[in-house]
Amino acid sequence: MNNKVEKEKLEVINLIKKTFLNFKFNLKETLVFEMFYRLLALFILWPINYVIIKYFMKSSGFTSISNSQFIDFALSIRGIICIGVVVVISFCMIFFEIGALTYIGVKSHNGEKVRLLDGAFNSFSMLKDTMDRGMIPLVLITGVIGPLTGIGLCSSLIRNFTIPPFITIELKKTLGGKALLFIGIAILVILLFRWCLAIPILLVEKIKGRAAIKKSYLIYKKNKWKLFRGFIIWIIVIFLIGTIATGGVIFTGATVGEFLGNRSVYSMIFLSVMTIIFYLMFIFFSLISTPLFVSYLVELYYALRSEDTRERDLKDEYDYKDNKIYKGLNKFRKLAILLTIVLFIVMVSINGYNVISKRVFNKDIMITAHRGASKAAPENSMSSIKKAVEQGADYAEIDVQTTKDNEVVLFHDNNLKRIAGSSKKIKDLTYEEISKIDAGSYFSKEYKNERIPKLEDILKYSKGKIKLNIELKPMGKDDNLVPLVLDLINKYDMKNDVVITSIDFDSLMKVESLEPALQTGYIVLAAIGDFEKLNVDFFSIESTLATPQTIYALHALNKGVHVFTINSEESTEKMIFLGVDNIITDNVPLVKDIENSMREDKDLDYVTMYYEAVLSITRFSNI
């Protein structure tokens, strides 16, 4: 048994070696194609989809869509049509890239040089074969599963598609959530294995999309452990190559820079050159990551398919000799390649300059303890507020709801299941009933019998100690949460010590109409359109929405930017460099330590600046 496993591992390693050798055969053509596709995606494909979405939004009466409005729009007739059109266009363009790369992989496998125009025409001509029930799994594999798993099968059109951190953070808070996350990832990986060979099959064999999906599944059934080992070894090899290459450049730069003198002119020149080399290497790996994996899938397909497979005849220049579009494009082929290379160089040069030299450090940045210091004490409790004060947070973010007898209490969820093991809801209980609930034991025995506090008690304690970010969580249209909260704020003279936020925009508008002097912030989980122009003082945005463009636009409109939920060193540094105004975190000490280290006024030497430039490239460059 062990001999068999070792033999299969050796076969996989030999297959990976073969992939690299064959990939090198048409490397220049692959790089040019990827440059062309990146430009196409940036300047044509994304704008087309955006214009389509804006048209349907406008015809439905929306200038922007955020949060629950996505559901309202998606369930409308125009929304359904819009989604259908965008999905079909996006799939066609994704298939164009993956199909053309598969074409290059097949030609390289056969030792044949490729013409990019032939690859593009062959890819588009096979689109009709995908337009059956097989299109659904093909959309999932290329548009969802590939990007989410991050193994390599992801188009440049949607390269950065990830599960928003606020979802994974909430899931990880409970055992059931962790299990759900694990099961979800497992399902995605299994589907990836089942369907990953569908596009090579579709391109090489003259069959329809549904048949290609079925045939990919049959190959998976017979070779599931070979596929699994093949993917694992591939991931390890690519990781090692990337680590050794990047580590080598970083180590060489830092070592030679120190030898030359970390403040000398020679060190500055040398490290500037090394930064450029690292950036070019980063761009190169970015360009080849998807093509290389597609080439590996092609080699896997040839290794695992049955010997009696009948291949389709891939067309070439001779077959298209009477095609006017082909002839017209072929006439300007060399000029198109030259323009592609020049425009791509300009684009990456501008991107590199912006990433390295145009970082923003907001010296007035604030730190908000999410649900109080929820990493150190039970969330939304008096203890978590006290911990937030001890940790030196500027704000404590708290969630408020009303009880059955109109008391305002701190609580986040719709029911007590996660905190107290009960399916009952806050709005269905009186405060007397709620005051008997143990809301601390779920966190640790140390906080046994911690109670769900009233907002009134939190306001009394917090005055003069810490500011509050009060998130309104109304439960129904007839909920009188807004006036009750405002009455308490006025009662304790806390107008200058609180801000009001909510995912419910109507609640914020009630606050604006009743107490216009209060600062209001709209919580945005997802958005499209001109949401920046909404009538609030600041926006509390999910971290994946925090792009330089969004932050610049909000600041230009004099709107503050709060970002949630930031719990890692990498994401903290990124938010600080982007110039956000407030970081919302479960881990206040971590964010404070990073902020303090970055705030120190010191004359940075060239080696340190080199390290920071490298980090900026890896974290912020988006090509």
Max Cα-Cα span within the chain: 84
Calculate mean pLDDT across residues 360-387: 90
Residue type, 470: I
Give pLDDT, residue 8. Answer: 64
Indicate if the pLDDT at residue 602 is higher than 60: no
Tell the residue number behind the tokens 């997802």, with chain if given. 526
Three-state secondary structure readout of 476-515: CCCCCHHHHHHHHHHHCCCCCCEEEEECCHHHHHHHHHHC
Indicate if the pLDDT at residue 600 is higher than 70: no
Indicate if the pLDDT at residue 362 is higher than 70: no
Q: How confident is the model at residue 161 (pLDDT cuts 50, 70, 90)?
A: low
Sign of CA dihedral 69, 75, 77, 82: positive
CA distance 430 to 403: 6
**Long-range contacts of range 541-549, CB-CB < 8 Å, 24 or more positions apart?**
542/164, 542/165, 542/166, 543/164, 543/165, 543/166, 543/571, 543/575, 544/162, 544/164, 544/165, 546/574, 546/575, 546/578, 546/580, 547/578, 548/354, 548/578
Q: How confident is the model at residue 60 (pLDDT cuts 50, 70, 90)?
A: confident
Q: What are the domain boundaries of the chain?
A: 2-357, 366-620
Give pLDDT, residue 590. Answer: 95
Indicate if the pLDDT at residue 152 is higher than 80: no
531-555 pLDDT, tens per residue?
Answer: 888 899 999 999 988 988 889 889 9
CA distance 279 to 621: 9
Give pLDDT, residue 412. Answer: 95
Q: How confident is the model at residue 1 (pLDDT cuts 50, 70, 90)?
A: low
Give pLDDT, residue 360. Answer: 62
Specify whether the CB–CB gap between 29 and 112 falls below 8 A. Answer: no
Q: How confident is the model at residue 3 (pLDDT cuts 50, 70, 90)?
A: low
Query: Is the CATH number of domain 366-620 3.20.20.190?
Result: yes
pTM: 0.84
Q: In the beta sheet, which residues pair with residue 522? A: 502, 539
Tell the residue number behind the tokens 């100690």, with chain if given. 465
171-180, 203-212, 282-291, range with the lowest pLDDT:
171-180
Helix (H, G, I), strand (E, B) or coil at 536: coil
Q: Considering only residues 317 and 264, tell me which one the structure prediction assigns the higher pLDDT.
A: 264
Tell the residue number behind the tokens 């210091």, with chain if given. 373
Give pLDDT, residue 588. Answer: 97
Q: Considering only residues 218 and 142, tell me which one the structure prediction assigns the higher pLDDT.
A: 218
Indicate if the pLDDT at residue 603 is higher than 60: no
Indicate if the pLDDT at residue 601 is higher than 60: no
Whether a cis peptide bond, with omega within 30° of 0, leads into 565 is: yes
416-466 pLDDT, tens per residue?
Answer: 999 998 989 999 999 999 999 999 999 999 999 999 999 999 999 999 999
Q: Where are the alpha helices (DSSP H) in 110-208?
A: 116-125, 127-130, 135-140, 146-149, 165-171, 175-195, 198-204
Q: Considering only residues 161 and 120, tell me which one the structure prediction assigns the higher pLDDT.
A: 120
Phi, psi of 395, deg, nearest 5: -130, 155
Indicate if the pLDDT at residue 280 is higher than 70: yes
Give pLDDT, residue 320. Answer: 83
Give pLDDT, residue 217. Answer: 94
Phi, psi of 516, deg, nearest 5: -60, -20
Q: Considering only residues 491 and 476, tell me which one the structure prediction assigns the higher pLDDT.
A: 491
Q: In the beta sheet, which residues pair with residue 560? A: 538
Q: Considering only residues 491 and 206, tell me which one the structure prediction assigns the higher pLDDT.
A: 491
Give pLDDT, residue 79. Answer: 92
Where does 44-106 show beta strands of DSSP type E? 64-66
CA distance 577 to 617: 13
Phi, psi of 75, deg, nearest 5: -90, -5
Residue type, 578: L
Give pLDDT, residue 134. Answer: 81
Mean pLDDT of the chain: 89
Tell the residue number behind the tokens 């900026």, with chain if given. 616
